[in-house]
Structure 1
Amino acid sequence: MAAREKRSLAASTKGILCILGSGAIFSFTDAVSKVMMDDYPVGEVIFFRSLFVLVFTVGAIRYQGGWKGVRIVDWRRQIARGVNIALTGICFMFALKQVPLADMTAMVFLGPLILTALAPYFLGERVGWRRWTAVGIGFGGVLFIVDPSGGGPLWPLLLAGCVPLLTSTRDILTRKLGATDSANATVLISTACSVISGALLLSLGWATPDLYGMGLFALTGLLQGVAQFLTVYAFVYGEAVVVTPFRYFMLLWATLYGYWFFAHIPRLETFVGAAIVSASGLYIFYRETRAKRRA
């Protein structure tokens, strides 16, 4: 029994380290991309970042055994998810150019709340009054973050609000695809769609990258690929109930990188709103875990 507990603890530790690492990498690449958008059009940043993610994904698939592990049955949902991912990336990057990194990251964590609200209609899941209350409180927390009266343009906030809505529908599609298609296929199709969307956006502007710029494009893309696989392995090694709460450390990484790269210190309202959204998301996860155990 003691040996089994040690193995379980070791696996959970690996899972936690993977999710912490992925959060740190995702926030770092977002910060670097935000810096690069001062010199390169948003569409170009999306294109090259996605292109190098695709390079990493193809390499990882070949390393894991080749194309025989890429199983696609539901093409319709795969394409729908790919388009969703592309739109998410477009909304995120255009918003990130204007919105502080910590604020943007906090908005992304609204996704689990929206997913909970959509679950009864698209997944046939029952949502009790406690989770509905948490959803309402979480949406209230967003009002602290966005500060629509701050005097800045409204459109970046609207795009930022689209991101969690899109990620929640992405998660619904991912759950349904998990029953038929391989994870490698899902990642491959989604990344390819992001490359295509970035290529289409190149018509809006182009700045020829120098060697340093191309190096940063490659760095952000390859690190994004690493972070995606770390996220997957986090839930392979550790149970979701152990790993999921540590995803919220991404808010800390975003705050640190925001200060490091941009000397930006979030407003008190941002901290309050992020705490409310995070607490609501964690409570919803806790209630879902209890419901599954009872079932």
Structure 2
Amino acid sequence: MKSENPAVALIGPGAIGTTIAAALHEVGRTPMIYGRSAHSRLELRFEGGNIVVPGPVQTSPAEIKNPVDLVFIAVKSTQIEAIAPWLAALCGANTVVCVLQNGVEQQALVAPYVSGSPILPAVVWFPAQREPDASVWLRAKPRLTLPDTAEARRVLDALHGTRCAVDLAADFTSIAWRKLLQNAVAGLMVLSGRRAGMYSRADITALSLAYLRECLTVARAEGAILGDEIPQEIIDGFQRAPADLGTSILADRVAGFPLEWDIRNGVVQRMGRAHGIPTPISDVVVPLLAAASDGPG
């Protein structure tokens, strides 16, 4: 499936999408960019510099004439149905669809909208946040992990030589679940309205570790090979992070947007029930996150 300089499209120029678009633009491979708002440009800022990607962002799928080689989906899971017209226009039988989303269910969520195109899940390992001026602040070196499959070579070709590293994993399931555990416990920020500094509290550490152990049991039932040390490693990471580091689900809560509570937290409860595993902490956290997202009230 090797293709030198594949034709690339990106749907969703938010924090993650802008990072990928800027990485490609920096090396002369600017992708076609599609989104809800016709931004005149995208700007990625990082320590030591910035990259400006010229616009405008295209807002009409009717302008798409031909399928492309590679589509990056960088919208939230709550927006998949809304981008269906773009996917229909951009995807052909040989289009690889790389899903830059949280969770472990990307293939199942996207499959109904791509008519048989191969779907490639990804784990995104970099914190990027949209600023009030619509620029994106990248707080660490961007890196993706992909399953070691033929389809992944398309992404390697597109991103080779860019500032975004790509790792291939033989055991992608374990890596995806490890990231899901990190995302799940980050959901506690929504319920407290606080950022990473809250994990320095002893009571939050204890609650977080108990929740992570519950998630770990479910992850193992789903085939992830993860050691007992993982919960503490994740909490150590939050405790080392800048106290003002947020998470995308907290940013969505502050903005009043729908939350990705189901793919980040609800999945643990759902799969726990499927395996007959008690999930008492999820049984509290999930309804609260769902109500924060969907109301009423």
**TM-score over 0.5 for the alignment?**
no
More strand by share: 2
Q: TM-score, normalised by structure 1?
A: 0.26
More helix by share: 1
Q: TM-score, normalised by structure 2?
A: 0.26
